[in-house]
Structure 1
């Protein structure tokens, strides 16, 4: 072969594998249905469980389903969670903790801006509820009676913090804003809209709709209101590039609501 000639590829040379296409919306929806049906089955079984263990650990069942089902999809595709917004380079790698530290800082800043407004809205809402017809008020909120504000923290706060971060916020954010929202957007990369510096891709609204609908495992209409914080969590995921900030805001939001409930209705 003369100098400068480009060698022809060997016939038996293997071409690099093409990246797998993202999971289509029907797979996203069917995986969501499996998670919801699995949780529903666990809830029904808990009604006849004499030990009460299953009923006391339904949040753990949900956490397992929200991580295991999409993780199986990612493993089948040869992908890792790092492509879906999870900043993880190993527990001993400082990059992991720097990424989560940045996410926590952004989440705390976001909470500092939003929580005062939400607290005022909660107070006003609590004052209005007793004046609504009983059927309407029970559909809009789980609270009964006249609110009396007395600041206090929820019971077993330390346990509640761990549960909200590791069992509720992290699995839900990995499933909805990490795997589902990312996969849906990658399926139609040219679709979307820019909102306050974040590109909200295809399926953004549908992700939050399914997030809210998944809370109807407990048949209480007011649970559909989770659609609105879902919009904020989804926006944060795109604005910051990872699920770290949404996990922090999701957990702190639940803890803040528990504190408001204890203060107004405790």
Structure 2
């Protein structure tokens, strides 16, 4: 059940134009500070556990601050005993993975072997430290890689961006467009842009603009399923697939 209407300073904070920027910037700046403390100040890697904690609990804190019920937002995971919810999300994700895996891999190969050399020659710059080439070197610990991207990255980010942010923006701009049988709205598009920009707020990388493309699917899955599990599954699959391909092409060490 939603909380009664806020008053006073809570009413000021409850305005989306106030709350959303404060939560978004506060969370990402906090994460950037944590990353900088680990990478530059030599603090232990254990401090990075604050990253998923900030993603998961800043929206909860914000809801309580403005007098709203966090349970009104689909940020929580279903019970592990709820097999229907988990299997349903897995089925939707599996179908989507089957549909995109071939163009995904072919597009990656085309990018690394044709477009990257052409761009580097045209601009006189190097996009990577070494020339990408298929080397058939696999990640050394694929299970750890998958667990990291699902539990440390995908689930917390989907809670923040799709469970909270996209849902909050849908309260401002009601979903109105039918896309593949699911009604979406401007909130999905704005969230995709904020999702990509948020990565660069933490660590600036030229390729972050391309994150918008898979995030469209993450947002669509949130609307389609009413929760974040399917989006988290697909999010993790995208990250793991890119990590495996980056290793195969020698961009990152195994």
State the TM-score, normalized to the length of structure 1: 0.80
- How many Å apart are 1:81 and its aligned residue? 3.9
Match of 1:120 in 2: 106
Gaps of 5+ in 1: 1-15
Larger Rg: 1
State the TM-score, normalized to the length of structure 2: 0.83
What CA distance in whole angstroms lies between the structure 2 residues aligned with 1:227 and 1:155?
29
The 5 A counterparts of 1:66-105 are 66-76=55-65, 77-81=67-71, 83-84=73-74, 86-88=76-78, 90-91=79-80, 94=81, 96-105=82-91
Q: For the structure 1 residues 17 and 149, does the alpha-carbon distance in structure 2 shift closer, same or farther, using more than 3 Å as the test?
A: closer
**Structure 1 ranges of 4+ moved more than 4 A:** 16-23, 134-139
The one of 16, 26, 42 equivalent to 1:24 is 16
The 5 A counterparts of 1:153-232 are 153-189=138-174, 192-216=176-200, 217-232=202-217
CA RMSD of aligned residues (A): 2.7
On the 8 A contact 2:63/2:69 being kept in 1, the answer is yes
Match of 2:50 in 1: 61
On the 8 A contact 2:221/2:231 being kept in 1, the answer is yes
What CA distance in whole angstroms lies between the structure 2 residues aligned with 1:173 and 1:214?
13
What CA distance in whole angstroms lies between the structure 2 residues aligned with 1:208 and 1:164?
19
The one of 101, 109, 133 equivalent to 2:120 is 133
Matched, 1:36 2:23: no
On the 8 A contact 1:74/1:80 being kept in 2, the answer is yes
Stretch moving more, 61-70 or 243-252: 61-70
Gaps of 5+ in 2: none
